[in-house]
Chain A
Amino acid sequence: MDLIRWIRRNLVILAGLATLAYLILPNVIVLVFSFNKPNGRFNYAWQRFSTDAWTDPCGVPDLCGSLSLSLQLAVWATLGATVLGTMIAFALARYRFRARPAVNSLIFLPMAMPEVVMAASLATLFLNMGVGFGFWTILIAHIMFCLSFVVTAVKARVMSMDPRLEQAAQDLYASPAQTFLRVTLPIAAPGIAAGALLSFALSFDDFIITNFNAGSTVTFPMFVWGSAQRGTPVQINVIGTAMFAVAVLCVLAGQLAGARRKRS
């Protein structure tokens, strides 16, 4: 009876812990196997503890090159998609123009369409235009599918903004440029930041569209997929764990900053 009562009282916590375990377990496995020293080419069975991979993360040929390429692509794609997407979002939220309904629904297409269809269509387009596959084709593709996420995030924020805030700024001697920089942009910032973070993650992570439009260029996801055919170097686990740690640190920093702001 006591046990049942205890379970009943702590059911929410138990469910929460189970969900957390479900989410975190794969990451824990990745972390653990980053310290493995496999016997063969495949890092699937635990042999013995070693820090070899951590001390030499670039020890596998082409790994760090593909990682650096993916990071560069993610940065540029984020920048391009965020700038363009923010402008589109403002245009859609603030102005009434002839093609507005069309743009409004077309902007969701990259989100709704199966990725593989979009990938194949893009590849066809580039081929027909005679554009050589490589860094630029990947970047164009990435900016395209990141756009819809930025537009969605920023538009929601801009739509919910009280137009009187900008009028109040103008009334308090702010020129149109100052109004935008001092009031509009800071208030829209959380939406823009959310869109940028999403873009970075999506771009860094993307495999299907990239694979169709990369030519002989190899990004990090393509490298991981390619090497999985022939064997999985421990270094992949190292990079994966490091990415996970960076993401967790970012979230923690955000939480701390938010908590401090609330307290002051």
Chain B
Amino acid sequence: MTQPTTTGGDVRLDGISKTYGSFTAVHPLDLHIPAGSFFALLGASGCGKTTTLRMIAGLEEPTTGTIRLAGDDVTALPPHRRPVNTVFQSYALFPHLDIYENVAFGLRRRGIKSVKRQVGEMLDLVQLGDFARRRPQQLSGGQQQRVALARALINHPRVLLLDEPLGALDLKLRRQMQLELKRIQTEVGITFVHVTHDQEEAMTMADTVAVMNGGRVEQLGAPAELYESPGTTFVANFLGTSNLIEAEITDKSGGELLLTAAGGRLTLPAGRCGAPARTGAAVLVGVRPEKISLTPAEDTGAVPAARNRMTGRIADSSFIGVSTQYVVATPDGAELAVYEQNIERDPRLVPGAEVVLHWSPAHTFGLDPAQDIDAGTDISTEGEAA
């Protein structure tokens, strides 16, 4: 865009909730989305993320709470009077209008007569200049997606809402469009609120991710922060993979907690423990698979003393290319996932081998044991139907 007339506005949700009869889609929610940021609402289907987005757009009326856009209370405004635009999941391009008129729709509704230059520029931005007179149904999925984006962006909204905009594209095109969207967002400086169930997509594009589950925000933060220090078992399992081990706090020394788990002794920085740090209390210890190193049992002495360690036997290994993924069974029956970079592959690391698993205490996190240890595991790869 050559002349942004407005820049992004911030979005502030205060106590927003939505109930349908006895079903609560969104529990009272406070959320602040800073101006100009790329914000992702991430969660499995039915977690309330799309409902939240539609309430910002004005397509759903909140049961309670207020919505402010750039400081103005818009809770009572109908969708056509809100300075936001939406890219719909199925694109929702008008089938009776050509690409040019689809893109010009918003400008014309606001009474702007000379739309030619702006539409031309916008079609060039999404590289569809030659398709102006085609009908939407004559375009491929990726092209339709770009038309939907152009149709929304041409209005210079304060906030752009994206409802699973890449869900219908194949993997390769999706990766390409993720980078494209990120580039456009940086270029136009509009606040983007992006709804997705794809954790990789959310982490690739967003500055801030809110992980939603059961109508609530489980955790909110930068992608790296969410990944490295998940606050709940759902976040730990939904964002990537986590090994969660039941442990007991046996001692505290300085800023560190000493734990026993499966007969081994582990160290956990007190600041990374999300559970009450009382001696004798139970805690769930978590560590990401790629943080763990494997050493054959006979080389145990070579493992630095400061590292957390457990013993086990390799139950399975699969070669992925950049890495090898192992499943290691511990003596008490737990199975841990370990991803090893294929830099120097030790030929002794084969199924059946006795190994020591070890990792840095700084990569360990502690979670409240009252939660479901498997929350978020089975839905992380699920696609969303509608």
Contacts and interface: CB of A to CB of B under 8 A. Distances in A.
A172 B90 contact: no
Interface in B330-367: none
A173 interface: yes
Interface stretch (B79-87, B186-194, B276-284, B373-381): B79-87
Contact of A172 (B58, B96, B106, B133): B106
Nearest to A164: B92
Nearest to B95: A187
B172 interface: no
Contact of B110 (A171, A173, A183): A173
Interface residues of B, number: 26
Given A171-B85, A172-B151, A165 B94 contact: yes
Of all A-B residue pairs in the complex, the 4 with the closest CB atoms, nearest first, are A172-B106, A168-B92, A164-B92, A173-B109
Given A174-B80, A174-B109, A183-B96, 16 more contacts: A162-B90, A167-B86, A167-B88, A168-B92, A170-B59, A171-B79, A171-B85, A171-B86, A172-B80, A172-B85, A173-B80, A173-B106, A174-B105, A176-B78, A176-B80, A183-B94
Interface string B52-95: 00000111000000000000000000111100111011101111
A170 B92 contact: no
A168 B148 CA distance: 10
A175 interface: yes
B155 interface: yes
B80 A170 contact: yes
Interface string B22-62: 00000000000000000000000000000000000111000
Interface in A122-173: 162, 164-165, 167-173
Interface string A229-264: 000000000000000000000000000000000001
B155 A172 contact: yes
| Chain A: interface size category | 20 to 34
Interface string B129-145: 00001000000000000
Contacts of B151: 172
A170 B79 contact: yes
A50 interface: no
A168 B88 contact: yes
A186 interface: yes
Contacts of B79: 167, 170-171
A167 B80 contact: no
A167 B155 contact: no
B86 A187 contact: no
Interface of A: 162, 164-165, 167-176, 178-179, 182-183, 186-187, 189, 264
Contacts of A186: 96
A167 B133 contact: no
Contacts of A174: 80, 105, 109
Contacts of B88: 164, 167-168
5 contacts: A167-B86, A171-B86, A174-B105, A176-B78, A178-B109
B155 A187 contact: no
B106 A164 contact: no
Contacts of B58: 170-171
A162 B80 contact: no
Interface centre among A174, A178, A186, A189 (most CB of B within 10 A): A174
Contacts of B152: 171-172
A171 B80 CA distance: 5
Contact of A170 (B78, B94, B95): B78
A175 B86 contact: no
A167 B59 CA distance: 7
Given A186-B96, A187-B95, A264-B133, A169 B90 contact: no
A46 B90 CA distance: 64
Contact of A165 (B81, B89, B92, B106): B92
Nearest to A178: B109
Contact of A171 (B57, B94, B133): B57
Contacts of B90: 162, 164
Nearest to B101: A182
Nearest to A187: B96
Nearest to A183: B94
Nearest to A170: B79
Contacts of A189: 96
Nearest to B96: A186
Contacts of A171: 57-59, 79-80, 84-86, 152
B158 to A, nearest CB: 13
A161 to B, nearest CB: 9
B96 A162 contact: no
Contacts of A183: 94, 96
Contacts of B81: 173
